[in-house]
Structure 1
Amino acid sequence: MKKVLLAVAAISMSLAACTTTTGTSTGTTAGTAATIGSNIFKAAVDNQCRTELNSNNAWRALALTMTAEQQTAMETKICSCVSEKAPQNVTAVDLATAAVDQNARAQIVANTVAKTLTACYSEFVK
């Protein structure tokens, strides 16, 4: 898994270095790698959020009062909120560690979701 992540990062950095818009560079390789890492982190957070939300007894009870469409819409709102706020609850060191260590990534994502889910849940479910 580490080799795949490193290969993807290397290819992404190589391609990003070649990309230009009207003759100017679009950004640094490090910036592009950080964006890719952030997007991967947000996707992992969204997935973990949905897992935790669906195992939460309060959410499951509330979901029984909603249609499937309402439930999906609310779940999307809550987990989008968590995905957007999660990077504020994680350090750059943790993000770098998560990029190369699968076990650390799972733990960092779980901790970050736990910190953020309650706030977002309360924001949308009143």
Structure 2
Amino acid sequence: MKKLIAALVPLTLALTACVTDTTGTTSGTGTASSLGGGLATMAIKVGVQAKCATELNNNTYWKTGSKLLTETQASELQTEVCSCVADKATTTVTAADMVTAALDKTSQASLITRVVTSSLNACVIETLKN
């Protein structure tokens, strides 16, 4: 019973954060990071990381450049870039986007594609500078 409660409390908090703001009124504003990192945010981050990895592996420049790296180095770099993209997702995705994505798989795929497209190049540059 304690495990069930422990699993339901974060879900309840995440869903509550999506529909109310601090004044208790219905709201569709705020970013995913301001929603407390709930299950919906984690789902978007996982989807973004998967899409990012796919986009990188299909990119001609990545294919060429990663040949100069060991498999471990390429994997670590990919992880770092895609983590950056996923982190940016939490600052750019609104609560309204999260609700829409939760209700509609097509919207979810579109949201993930939009986030990856808008931040992938910036994250590659940022990662390579460090």
TM-score band w.r.t. shorter chain: 0.7 to 0.9
* 1:4 aligned residue: none
Matched, 1:88 2:91: yes
Question: What is the root-mean-square deviation in Å for CA atoms of aligned residues?
Answer: 2.6
Instruction: Answer whether contact 1:45 1:86 (CA < 8 A) is retained.
Output: yes
Task: Give, in whole Å, the separation in 2 of the partners of 1:116 and 1:79.
Answer: 10
Instruction: Answer whether contact 1:13 1:30 (CA < 8 A) is retained.
Output: no
Tell me the matched-pair count: 107
* 1:47 aligned residue: 50
Inter-CA distance 92–66: structure 2 relative to 1 (3 Å threshold):
same
Task: Give, in whole Å, the separation in 2 of the partners of 1:43 and 1:89.
Answer: 15
**What's the CA shift for 1:57?**
1.0
| Secondary structure of 1:60 counterpart | helix
Output the TM-score relative to the length of structure 2: 0.72
Task: Give, in whole Å, the separation in 2 of the partners of 1:118 and 1:105.
Answer: 21
| Secondary structure of 1:66 counterpart | coil
Inter-CA distance 62–36: structure 2 relative to 1 (3 Å threshold):
same
* 1:113 aligned residue: 116
Q: Which residue identity is paired with 1:99?
A: A
**What's the CA shift for 1:45?**
0.5
Output the TM-score relative to the length of structure 1: 0.74
Task: Give, in whole Å, the separation in 2 of the partners of 1:45 and 1:57.
Answer: 20
Q: Deviations over 1:49-78 (max 9, x none)?
A: 001111111111110100000000000000
Task: Give, in whole Å, the separation in 1 of the partners of 2:87 and 2:7.
Answer: 28
User: Is there any run of 5+ residues in structure 2 with no aligned partner, and where?
Assistant: 18-34
Q: Summarize the alignment of residues 1-126 of structure 1 with structure 2, pairs less than 5 Å apart.
A: 15-16=8-9, 30-31=16-17, 35-126=38-129
Task: Give, in whole Å, the separation in 1 of the partners of 2:87 and 2:81.
Answer: 10
